[in-house]
Structure 1
Amino acid sequence: MDATNKFYNLGLLIVATIVVAKLISSLVMPRSSKRLPPIVKGYPLIGGLVKFLKGPIVMIREEYSKLGSVFTVNLCNRKITFLIGPEVSAHFFKAPESDLSQQEVYQFNVPTFGPGVVFDVDYSIRQEQFRFFTEALRVTKLKGYVDQMVVEAEDYFSKWGDSGEVDLKFELEHLIILTASRCLLGREVRDKLFDDVSSLFHDLDNGMLPISVLFPYLPIPAHSRRDQARKKLADIFANIITSRKCAAKSENDMLQSFIDSKYKDGRPTTESEVTGLLIAALFAGQHTSSITSTWTGAYLLKYKECLSAVQEEQKSLMKKHGKRVDHDILAEMDVLYRCIKEALRLHPPLIMLLRSSHSDFTVQTREGKEYDIPKGHIVGTSPAFANRLPHIYKNPDSYDPDRFAPGREEDKAAGAFSYISFGGGRHGCLGEPFAYLQIKAIWSHLLRNFEFELISPFPEIDWNAMVVGVKGKVMVRYKRRELSVD
């Protein structure tokens, strides 16, 4: 009997100990383990990888409607937590590098940009290199770049006939690379080495494939051509840098700005660093400008009221300034600016922005629900989806440049980070002013000198590209004329 009571009492003690331990555990358990974001349904081991590979935007659209603005997708051994909308993404854009880092998630760029620049250096050095970009894109520099942009556009379109049919996408892509060569890579490249350098950049571009994100050093032909092109470009720019230094010549281009840049300790940039920074600059700007200028044209030709509005603006500016176009005159083109901005809202070239989380943080949805995002997650947001949220933008899938007009300004009504085509916060795109000036310079020339008609179907989105752009050709019929100021 005594033995039975002992076992009974011992059993009660064990049960009581477990209950107390559970209670204590629940009280001291980190909040993040109780308020984790909902998880996208998937398969054992691979999680939501199948859904993700079918198309990130399709997956985000489906899961947002089911799970809300914060959710996690398991991709094998990695977890990506998406924050969709300005209410939950402020920390994503404002957090310091020590909390949310770019470096780990963008390592696949290192073979393309080269060693010692951007994502191959620690944050303090990267910040100094971003300062070099800022200095190369300050207003005094931009004014000189605009003069070169205008000359390039005039020269390029002077070769068109009085009338004809062209693939607008091809023409704008080619002009953008010519303009970028002049403003960024320098006179020597534009005048003498354009074909060689353009071909090498093509190999670099084609060496950045979806598989490269996971395996950037995989021994495949595309990566081999990428690495050879990177080496040849380094040799070309080393020769140009040496030639400029020996001749004591200074040019108004980004190449010269990088050559003249110095770190805080007084150390000058190396030839390898200059080459890497130039490659990064061209990669950041070339696709965005060519894609956005093409979408802008397609929408203007589809919506005649928008086309009429930008043409009237050009007439007004020509009455005021004559045929002259410079930095300050481009800055007056508010209607054209809104047309470009709306095309970019609907079609941001980068569909996802990613960071690596080094600390726990909490977000609150607009419905008031809080989620704790654990350290170690990849954190992402999507400009392509967030830019079309119906509680921010009226008729979000419609092309409506006036949504940015004074008095309406839908992108500001919901607060910061409602419009994220150029990112924002600590890592906002440094080349945004350059891109707008470049696209304005091209389209102001086209609007003043040609009549257009879109003769192919309105283009579709090429979701399969690394940088999401325009699918297929955009055929237009043009006729040369001069915009009357009467």
Structure 2
Amino acid sequence: MISLIVAGYETTSAAQAWTLYASLRAPGVWERAREEVDTVLVDSEIGAELLDQLPSVDAIVQESLRLHPPVVVLPRVLAEDAEFGGDRLRAGSRLAISPYVTHRMPEVWPGPERFRPGRWDPQESLHRPAAPSAFLPFGGGRHRCVGAPFATAELKTILAELLRSVDLRLLTDVAPASIIVMRPRRGLPVAVRRRT
């Protein structure tokens, strides 16, 4: 039950909070995404085919997952002997892989501390295809979270629904807190007003 709650609910709600936080803080991001949602969705129900037509919404979610991966450290056990950085590691050694650190490597992600949804647009100069070993919000390899496609669709759907139905205003800056899942400490304070 604990795994279900942590892996299926807490991570997604934390990721949604960071997605809202990042998109509300970045000038023009919320407005551009809202324009896209209003144009594509009109009054339609959101389905998989319409989510695929929302590249700005997708870019916001991907960039938020890059900058604020819900799980900051992934424990692993080395299956066989390996060498890394000149050090010999023995099979059975325990390792900690950090998506948070990996996603902030400037040699992989230019300007890694900045929220830039444009880096996910192939037409933008910032765009670099994300290698599986460089983009790890759901882990990687055989141990990648089986719920990754569902979680991503859920994040995009919630963001699209919020964009078309409410105006949000960030009330204060937030700081991260983490034991297992990185989330905004004390939640995400926003003012909410229904769109007319």
TM-score, normalised by the number of residues in structure 1: 0.38
1:454 is aligned, of 155, 167, 170, to 170
Report what 1:287 is aligned to.
10
Note the C-alpha offset of 1:390. 0.7
Equivalent residues, number: 194
1:15-37 per-residue CA deviation (whole Å, 9 max, x = no partner) reads xxxxxxxxxxxxxxxxxxxxxxx
**Equivalent residue for 2:190, pick from 476, 479, 484:** 476
TM-score (norm 2): 0.89
Secondary structure, counterpart of 1:304 in structure 2: coil
- Alignment partner of 1:410 out of 108, 128, 144: 128
Partner of 1:99: none
Matched, 1:421 2:142: no
| Superposed displacement of residue 468, structure 1 | 1.9
Higher helix fraction (1 or 2):
1
Whole-angstrom distance in 2 between the partners of 1:308 and 1:380: 38
Alignment of 1:263-342 (within 5 A): 280-319=3-42, 322-342=43-63
Q: Deviation per CA, 1:216-264, whole angstroms, max 9, x where unpaired?
A: xxxxxxxxxxxxxxxxxxxxxxxxxxxxxxxxxxxxxxxxxxxxxxxxx
- Partner-residue secondary structure (3-state), 1:379: strand
Structure 1 unaligned residues grouped into runs of 5+: 1-112, 114-203, 205-279
Over 3 Å counting, the alpha-carbon distance change for 1:359 and 1:452 in structure 2 is closer
Q: CA 1:330–1:382 in 2, change beyond 3 Å: closer, same or farther?
A: same
Residues 299 and 359 of structure 1, relative CA distance in 2, 3 Å threshold: closer
- Displacement of 1:282 after TM fit? 4.0
Give the Cα–Cα distance (whole angstroms) in 1 for the partners of residues 91 and 187 of structure 2. 45
Q: Does 1:438 align with 2:161?
A: no
Residue 416 to residue 467, structure 1, CA distance change in 2 (3 Å): closer
Residue aligning to 1:392: 108
**8 Å contact 1:357–1:375 — kept in the other structure?**
yes
Aligned with residue 383 of structure 1, among 83, 88, 99: 99
Which structure's relative contact order is higher, taking Cα pairs within 8 Å and 6+ residues apart? Answer: 2
Deviation for aligned residue 1:289: 1.0
On the 8 A contact 1:411/1:418 being kept in 2, the answer is no
The SS at the match of 2:45 is coil
The root-mean-square deviation of aligned C-alpha atoms, in Å, is: 1.9
CA apart distance, 1:359 = 2.8
Q: How much has 1:447 moved relative to structure 2?
A: 0.8
Q: Quick one: percent identity of the two aligned structures? A: 26
1:428-462 deviation per Cα after TM superposition (whole angstroms, max 9, x unaligned): 1111111111122222111111112112x221001
The ranges of structure 1 where at least 4 consecutive aligned residues each deviate by more than 6 angstroms after the TM superposition are: none
Displacement after TM superposition at 1:301 (Å): 1.5
**Equivalent runs, 1:25-424 vs 2, <5 Å:** 113=1, 204=2, 280-319=3-42, 322-363=43-84, 370-407=86-123, 408-412=126-130, 415-424=131-140
> Which structure has the highest strand share of the two?
2
Q: 1:304, CA displacement in angstroms?
A: 3.0
Gaps of 5+ in 2: none
